Amino acid sequence: MKTQGTVEQQTVYATQDGALIPLEDMPDKVFAEKMMGDGVCIIPTSPQVKCPINGTVKLVADTLHAIGIVSDDGCELLIHIGIDTVKLKGNGFKVKVKTGDKVTVGDLLATVDLDFIQSQGLQTHTALILTNGNKAIPNSFGQTKAGITPVFTYT
């Protein structure tokens, strides 16, 4: 609850089961150097991609590897699945939402064929990025459960 003189922190939850690592450790310079914004990275172990925050789907990339959500408080969050997965042109991805859909934490956004991505010589690291300048305050790094584990907060 917001009180006078304080700023409410919002929580972003894991999109996937896996290992949460600092964004700086992601093997992609654009994300690691925070050129797109602050956030974290998940190395996924399960194919389900779940919603990390309550809001509205703003973007589903034509190549299905990225989903943008605007949170109920106006924060913009990008879920970028894999590194260089734009090259797959949607192969290996099944997106369950469309632009304009209202979503809540834990809703299934997509399924991803992790084995297929890796068979193409690509990495499955998933970036969760605040694209409108908010600062991510990561929780402890380690194992995550999709839609359950808090991964960072922002104000």
Position 98 scores a pLDDT of: 98
Q: Taking 60 as the threshold, does the pLDDT of residue 24 lie above it? A: yes
Do residues 11 and 153 make contact, with C-beta atoms less than 8 angstroms apart? yes
Does 65 qualify as catalytic in the annotation?
A: no
Do residues 40 and 77 make contact, with C-beta atoms less than 8 angstroms apart? no
Do residues 107 and 51 make contact, with C-beta atoms less than 8 angstroms apart? yes
**What is residue 152's three-state secondary structure?**
strand
Domains identified in the chain and CATH numbers: 16-154 (2.70.70.10)
Distance of CA 44 to the CA centre of its chain: 11
pLDDT in tens, 69-107: 999 999 999 999 999 999 999 999 999 999 999 999 999
pTM of the predicted structure, to 2 decimals:
0.93
Position 7 scores a pLDDT of: 56
Q: Taking 90 as the threshold, does the pLDDT of residue 9 lie above it? A: no
Q: What percent of the chain has pLDDT over 70?
A: 95
Position 21 scores a pLDDT of: 97
SS (H, E, C) 92-142: CEEECCCCCCEECCCCEEEEECHHHHHHCCCEEEEEEEECCCCCCEECCCE
Catalytic residue, from 50, 65, 80, 125: name it.
Answer: 80
Position 4 scores a pLDDT of: 47
